[in-house]
């Protein structure tokens, strides 16, 4: 999927826009407050991607308080996670066709394709069909259907950047928000799609038909997403760590929300020793 699609110039612009934040780093005065601001956004965007888009929307592994849901939906849009229905549809398709020829981001088509190539070749017509076939349930949810629009999904980020730049300064907009978007893309999305499906990388707890791997060091920066072989074995359960040595921040964070009644009906699997 997407292999024969033309370049999507909006995706190319988005990646280029994010990469420009790297070039600005040497020219910015770096302060503790600036990097704490960036860390907050890295966590907000990461949880929006790993917890909300992935485990909540795509796999429906728990229920979430509506105000908490809106907070992380906003984080996903500001963090340029894009259309949540598209995100879920592509990922559901990936699970059905993992490491087959039509898998949208398998490294069998090359590491660079799995890392960023498929992101740049989105076919809008194909995605529209995919949303109807693989995420029809999400299109019935009003606030998700509203966000399933190119204009709407871009507006929150643009407004947020202007507000941050005006009140805190351009360096907070560039490092605190745009650079954090890039890092979240890298660790919560692009490296998972690529490194976690390379046969000689990481380790496998379960012998599955696909090439999914657990990459322990990456799990800290991806909030647990890199326990990818575990995830492919139990995609509809939230907990991805099968031992104390495997880190899964999202599962712990949702456990924290449970304490305050902000998350419920959490589906957890009990791993065999």
pLDDT-derived band at 60, boundaries 50, 70, 90:
very high
What is the distance between the alpha carbons of residues 249 and 50, in angstroms, rounded to a whole number? 10
Contact 84, 57 (CB under 8 A): yes
The Cβ-side half-sphere exposure at 89, using a 13 Å CA radius, reads: 24
What is the distance between the alpha carbons of residues 169 and 172, in angstroms, rounded to a whole number? 6
Q: How much is the pLDDT for 200?
A: 83
Contact 85, 138 (CB under 8 A): yes
Q: If you average pLDDT over residues 69-94, what whole number do you get?
A: 96
Q: How much is the pLDDT for 190?
A: 94
Boundaries of every domain in the chain = 9-199
- Report which of 251, 245, 217 is spatially closest to residue 231, judged by C-alpha positions: 251
Q: Which residues of 136-170 are buried (b: 16+ CB within 10 A; e: fewer)?
A: eebeeeeebeebbeeeebeebbeebbeebbeeeee
Token code pair at residue 190: 């692009």
What is the distance between the alpha carbons of residues 12 and 249, in angstroms, rounded to a whole number? 31
pLDDT tens digits along 79-91 = 999 999 999 999 9
pLDDT tens digits along 107-139 = 988 999 999 999 898 788 889 999 999 999 999
Cα distance between the two ends of the chain: 37
Q: If you average pLDDT over residues 187-199, what whole number do you get?
A: 94
Token code pair at residue 185: 């893309």
Helices (H), the chain: 9-24, 32-47, 66-78, 84-96, 111-112, 118-120, 124-134, 136-139, 142-147, 150-168, 170-171, 180-185, 191-194, 216-221, 228-233, 249-259
Q: How much is the pLDDT for 154?
A: 85
Q: If you average pLDDT over residues 2-21, what whole number do you get?
A: 87
What percent of the chain has a predicted confidence (pLDDT) above 70?
Answer: 99
What is the distance between the alpha carbons of residues 3 and 68, in angstroms, rounded to a whole number? 37
Q: How far lies 92's CA from each of 28, 64, 88, 96, 125, in Å?
A: 40, 20, 6, 7, 17
Q: How much is the pLDDT for 62?
A: 98
What is the distance between the alpha carbons of residues 195 and 216, in angstroms, rounded to a whole number? 11
pLDDT-derived band at 264, boundaries 50, 70, 90:
very high
Q: How much is the pLDDT for 152?
A: 83
pLDDT tens digits along 145-190 = 999 887 788 899 999 999 999 999 999 999 999 999 999 999 999 9
pLDDT-derived band at 273, boundaries 50, 70, 90:
low
């Amino acid at each position: 999927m997407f292999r024969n699609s033309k370049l999507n110039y909006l995706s190319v612009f988005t990646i280029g826009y994010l990469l420009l934040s790297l070039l600005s780093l040497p020219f910015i005065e770096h302060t503790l407050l600036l990097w704490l601001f960036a860390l907050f956004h890295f966590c907000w965007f990461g949880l929006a991607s790993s917890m909300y888009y992935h485990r909540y929307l795509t796999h429906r592994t728990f229920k979430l308080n509506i105000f908490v849901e809106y907070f992380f939906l906003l984080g996903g849009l500001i963090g340029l996670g894009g259309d949540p229905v598209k995100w879920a549809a592509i990922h559901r398709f990936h699970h059905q066709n993992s490491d087959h020829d039509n898998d949208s981001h398998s490294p069998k088509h090359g590491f660079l394709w799995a890392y960023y190539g498929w992101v740049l070749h989105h076919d809008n017509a194909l995605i529209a069909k995919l949303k109807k076939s693989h995420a029809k349930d999400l299109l019935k949810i009003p606030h998700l259907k509203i966000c399933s629009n190119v204009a709407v999904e871009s507006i929150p980020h643009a407004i947020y950047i202007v507000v941050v730049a005006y009140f805190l300064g351009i360096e907070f907009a560039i490092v605190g928000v745009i650079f954090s978007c890039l890092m979240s893309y890298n660790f919560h999305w692009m490296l998972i799609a690529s490194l976690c499906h390379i046969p000689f990388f990481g380790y496998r707890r379960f012998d599955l038909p696909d090439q999914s791997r657990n990459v322990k060091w990456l799990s800290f920066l991806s909030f647990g997403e890199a326990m990818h072989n575990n995830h492919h074995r139990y995609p509809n359960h939230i907990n991805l760590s099968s031992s104390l040595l495997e880190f899964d921040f999202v599962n712990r964070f949702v456990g924290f929300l449970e304490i305050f009644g902000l998350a419920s009906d959490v589906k957890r699997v009990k791993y065999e020793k």
